[in-house]
Structure 1
Amino acid sequence: MRVAIFDFDRTLFPEETFPLLMKHLKTHPQKYRSFMSRILPIYAAYKCKLYPEQRMREHSMRSYISAFGKVPETEVNQFFSQLGSMMSEKLSEPMLARLQQHREDGYYIMLVSGAFQPLLNSVAAKLPFDEVIGTNFHKKNLQYINGSRKREVVHERLSHMEVDWENSFAYGDSYTDLNVLELVGNPVAVQPEPRLLEVASRRQWEILA
């Protein structure tokens, strides 16, 4: 079995997700104020190079979910579904074409991202993904999917299948996506950040600007 693994931010979706999450949260002022009170000290420490980027990102996601307080999970899912519906209209046409081609060629197609699971579910509802994996939360217990965790979760989900990695594809934009890109024989750097661009150029990977 061949697989095709897609990242979300700046790959399937051509922009960063978090600024849109912030904009959407502003429509709920009380939640927005709660989020800002939690994130500002950590963000200030990050800007002063006193707090690592990866931990700052994870803290941001935890703070975002915490801003919802004790509202029912159905309400949280509805919040993300509204945003996902808007984002689904702005997906990358080249990535959608690749997605459709992989479907026609019989690939097992995965969307693997650090974005929130209900957001990804909403965006991918009408797309031909076999599996959608994102950052899950249950009673504010966040299971963040990023960096090496992406590779681990891909292996976990495919452990019962015989995968032809050499003829599989992976798409990502960030240096942190290397863990997944290096799994396959056909890695594709999409709008790559400088560090990933340097690696992709040196290794002669396909690059989509």
Structure 2
Amino acid sequence: MVGAYARLVENHSVPHSTPRTAAFFDLDKTVIAKSSTLTFSKSFYRGGLINRRAVLRTAYAQFVFLVGGADHDQMERMRAYLSSLCRGWDVAQVREIVAETLHDRIDPIIYDEAASLIEEHRAAGRDVVIVSTSGAEVVEPIGELLGADRVVATKMVVGDDGRFTGEVAYYAYGPTKAEAVRDLAASEGYDLDRSFAYSDSATDVPMLEAVGNPCAVNPDRALRREAAARGWPVLSFTRPVRLKQRLPSLSMPARPLVVTAVAAVGTAAVTAGLVWYANRRRGPIDA
């Protein structure tokens, strides 16, 4: 199935004389097999950011995320909760933990099919942009690992003491992702009608609508229905693989990563929010 879509990618190759194009990728369950933030829970525990009980709850939250994800209302409740919970967390410590454990935690769960698509888009002359609701402290290093050209990710305000203040200035989620895509198109000269976007979640329909070539990847039920109604391609990514085993060049970006993010919810904040969500959901899981 990926091969068929790869031919579509090739058929849309952009000559240098035409406007630039891009491929916009959601991260969790689209490029990697799990939640990027929850994957670091054990690392955060060893670094003293969360306790053992929280580690167990993040394991359950990861299961809930993989089975059905969180809908809009649940995500909004998480954002309100985490904005106060992470006040005082040291940003430098979070970044250090992620840097030290990035390859152990993320490299094994990158989809082989996603890595191939990233390679094909770059070969076709497109910029690769990761657009993720996860925190910048996690997404930026993953973007570098993948060889992405740009990253749009969530952050939270950092005080003069280098710690999260708990204030939320921007949240890369839902329609905000589409706004980021359009802003990048305006600043970088991307032709969105010839650009691509990939996501697993119905909350990213606005981002998918913003480009001429949207694609649902491992879609949740709502996105699968939307894709069927609109005639969007649906891809199934199933093969996590270490980048160095399949394509060493992808772990060595040819171009410097450009971070395109305002200020929003950080990595630690998203982790804490999903821990809270898992603690709240003790009944049956809605797929």
Task: Give me the whole-angstrom Cα distance separating, in 1, the residues matched to 2:50 and 2:84.
Answer: 10
- Equivalent pairs, count: 193
Partner in structure 2 of residue 82 of structure 1: 100
Give the deviation of 1:163 after TM superposition.
2.5
Are 1:26 and 2:45 counterparts? yes
Long gaps (5+) in structure 1: 44-50
- Identity among equivalent positions (%) equals 24
Task: Give me the whole-angstrom Cα distance separating, in 1, the residues matched to 2:217 and 2:137.
Answer: 24
Partner in structure 1 of residue 194 of structure 2: 167
Name the CA shift for 1:109/1:150 in 2 (closer, same or farther; >3 Å): same
Task: Give me the whole-angstrom Cα distance separating, in 2, the residues matched to 1:204 and 1:82.
Answer: 43
Name the CA shift for 1:80/1:56 in 2 (closer, same or farther; >3 Å): farther
Question: Is the contact made by 2:195 and 2:212 (CA closer than 8 Å) also made in structure 1?
Answer: yes
Q: What is the aligned-residue RMSD (CA, Å)?
A: 2.7
Task: Give me the whole-angstrom Cα distance separating, in 1, the residues matched to 2:216 and 2:82.
Answer: 25
Question: Is the contact made by 2:132 and 2:173 (CA closer than 8 Å) also made in structure 1?
Answer: yes
Name the CA shift for 1:157/1:167 in 2 (closer, same or farther; >3 Å): closer
Task: Give me the whole-angstrom Cα distance separating, in 2, the residues matched to 1:137 and 1:83.
Answer: 22
Render the CA deviation track for 1:159-187: whole Å, top value 9, x for unaligned: 22333222211000000110110111111
Q: How does 1:66-145 map to 2 (within 5 A)?
A: 66=87, 69=88, 71=90, 73-85=91-103, 86-139=105-158, 140=164, 141-142=167-168, 143-145=170-172
Are 1:198 and 2:219 counterparts? no
Give the deviation of 1:14 after TM superposition.
1.5
SS in 1 for 2:95: helix
SS in 1 for 2:130: strand
Aligned pair partner of 1:207 in 226, 234, 238: 234
Name the CA shift for 1:59/1:78 in 2 (closer, same or farther; >3 Å): farther
Long gaps (5+) in structure 2: 1-19, 62-71, 159-163, 237-287
Name the CA shift for 1:149/1:83 in 2 (closer, same or farther; >3 Å): farther
User: Which of the pair is proportionally richer in strand?
Assistant: 1
Are 1:2 and 2:29 counterparts? no
Are 1:184 and 2:216 counterparts? no
Name the CA shift for 1:70/1:98 in 2 (closer, same or farther; >3 Å): closer
